[in-house]
């Protein structure tokens, strides 16, 4: 038996089976709703004692999903075959580094529990804004320095030690250290590790990408920043990933202002990702 599907002004992804046999699936461009009509006919005209049964599963596809699917198909058609990288494996994590007693520590240090969010709005005076700016400027300097250490054969543990030393030399505390039990002074996320990676003995490889997340606690305020760096000869697809992500970040920041809605940030990022 075969089936005929009549589609009018709609977009559906269809999968079906007839007597346990899979039939082909199809999809079309998104359009407004309309009736979906199915009829069955015989391949050979032979009669069968079995009842005619046809199972059809339909799923509506959003315009964004359809656009992403088409874009990925085009990228696969135009891209060259790349060597598959081995999965990321955890190395040995060394002991946490000490912090001098005279350095002011955030209140969560010494506890494995995460601090509770404040239930009140925090309005900062000019002195608070000045301290906040100083903490952020220090974090940015440390991040830039960490970026200079990126090269094949360097371990993320070595990056952690260098970042830790620079922060305490500036009289600040490395915020990740001890936050909810986090054992290190910086977050290093390599390749498929999305965020908050723990520095360890693994050496960076040629072609890796690594996000370094630096946060410092200075004079009662946290300064937080991160950036993704390229290690050695990185593939074009990885370079594009980093470039588009950074562009989305900058466009999202440009939306931020007093009274701006959070959802506008997401809309701007989606617009940039879709090639806008």
229 and 130 together in one domain: yes
Cα–Cα distance for residue pair 210/1, rounded to 1 Å: 55
Contact, 166 vs 158, CB < 8 A? no
- Report yes or no on 256 lying in a domain: no
Give residue 30's pLDDT band: very low, low, confident or very high (50, 70, 90). Answer: very low
Q: Is the pLDDT of residue 16 over 70?
A: no
- Report yes or no on 121 lying in a domain: no
68 and 134 together in one domain: no
Cα–Cα distance for residue pair 75/81, rounded to 1 Å: 11
User: What is the average pLDDT score of the chain?
Assistant: 81
The string over 141-161, giving b where at least 16 C-beta atoms fall within 10 Å of a residue's C-beta and e elsewhere, is: bbbeebbeebeeeebbbebbb
- Report yes or no on 97 lying in a domain: no
**Could you list the residue range(s) of the whole structural domain that residue 60 is in?**
2-78
Closest CA to 6 of 31, 36, 32: 36
132 and 67 together in one domain: no
65 and 9 together in one domain: yes
Contact, 146 vs 162, CB < 8 A? yes
Q: Which two tokens stand for residue 65?
A: 């999903």
**What SS3 state is found at 90?**
coil
Give residue 54's pLDDT band: very low, low, confident or very high (50, 70, 90). Answer: low
Q: Is the pLDDT of residue 80 over 80?
A: no
132 and 73 together in one domain: no
Cα–Cα distance for residue pair 196/189, rounded to 1 Å: 6
- Report yes or no on 35 lying in a domain: yes
Q: Which two tokens stand for residue 3?
A: 């089936």
Number of domains composing the chain: 2
137 and 229 together in one domain: yes
Question: Can you list the alpha helix ranges (DSSP code H) found in the chain?
Answer: 63-78, 126-147, 156-169, 236-255, 262-273
Q: Determine the distance from the C-alpha atom of residue 66 to the mean position of all C-alpha atoms in its chain, rounded to a whole number.
A: 21
- Report yes or no on 74 lying in a domain: yes
Contact, 56 vs 16, CB < 8 A? yes
Residue scoring higher pLDDT (82 or 190): 190
Cα–Cα distance for residue pair 215/219, rounded to 1 Å: 13
Dihedral (CA of 141, 260, 272, 72) sign: positive
- Report yes or no on 138 lying in a domain: yes
Query: What is the DSSP code string of 196-223?
Result: -PPP-SPBP-TT-EEEEEEEEEETTEEE
Q: Is the pLDDT of residue 203 over 50?
A: yes
Give residue 53's pLDDT band: very low, low, confident or very high (50, 70, 90). Answer: low
pLDDT digit string (tens) for 137-188? 999 999 999 999 999 999 999 999 999 999 999 999 999 999 999 999 999 9
Domain containing 199 — which CATH number? 3.90.230.10
Cα–Cα distance for residue pair 166/82, rounded to 1 Å: 38
- How large is the average pLDDT for residues 246-268? 92
Over pLDDT 70: what percentage of the chain?
Answer: 73
Q: How many CB atoms lie within 10 A of CB 196?
A: 15
Q: How far apart are the first and last CA of the chain?
A: 46
Which of 42-56, 62-76, 91-105 is the least confident region?
A: 42-56
């Amino acid at each position: 038996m075969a089936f005929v599907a009549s589609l009018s002004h709609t977009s559906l992804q269809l999968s079906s089976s007839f007597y346990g046999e899979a039939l082909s699936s199809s999809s079309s461009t998104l359009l407004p709703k309309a009736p979906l009509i199915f009829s069955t006919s015989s391949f050979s005209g032979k009669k069968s004692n079995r009842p005619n049964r046809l199972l059809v599963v339909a799923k509506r596809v959003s315009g964004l999903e359809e656009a992403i699917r088409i874009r990925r198909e085009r990228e696969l058609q135009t891209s060259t075959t790349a060597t598959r990288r081995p999965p990321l494996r955890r190395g040995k994590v060394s002991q946490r580094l000490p912090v001098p007693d005279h350095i002011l520590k955030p209140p969560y240090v010494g506890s494995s529990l995460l601090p509770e969010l404040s239930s009140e709005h925090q309005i900062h005076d000019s002195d608070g804004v000045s301290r906040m700016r100083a903490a952020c400027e220090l974090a940015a300097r440390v991040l830039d320095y960490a970026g200079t250490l990126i090269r094949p054969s360097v371990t993320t543990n070595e990056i952690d030690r260098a970042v830790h030393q620079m922060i305490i030399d500036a009289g600040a505390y490395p915020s990740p250290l001890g936050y909810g039990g986090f054992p290190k002074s910086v977050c290093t996320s390599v390749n498929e590790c999305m965020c908050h990676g723990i520095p360890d003995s693994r050496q960076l490889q040629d072609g890796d990408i690594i996000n370094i997340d630096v946060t410092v606690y200075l004079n009662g305020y946290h300064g937080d920043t991160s950036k993704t760096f390229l290690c050695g000869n990185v593939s074009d697809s990885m370079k594009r990933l980093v470039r588009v992500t950074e562009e989305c970040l900058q466009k999202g920041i440009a939306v931020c202002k007093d009274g701006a809605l959070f959802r506008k940030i997401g809309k701007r990022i989606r617009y940039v990702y879709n090639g806008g």
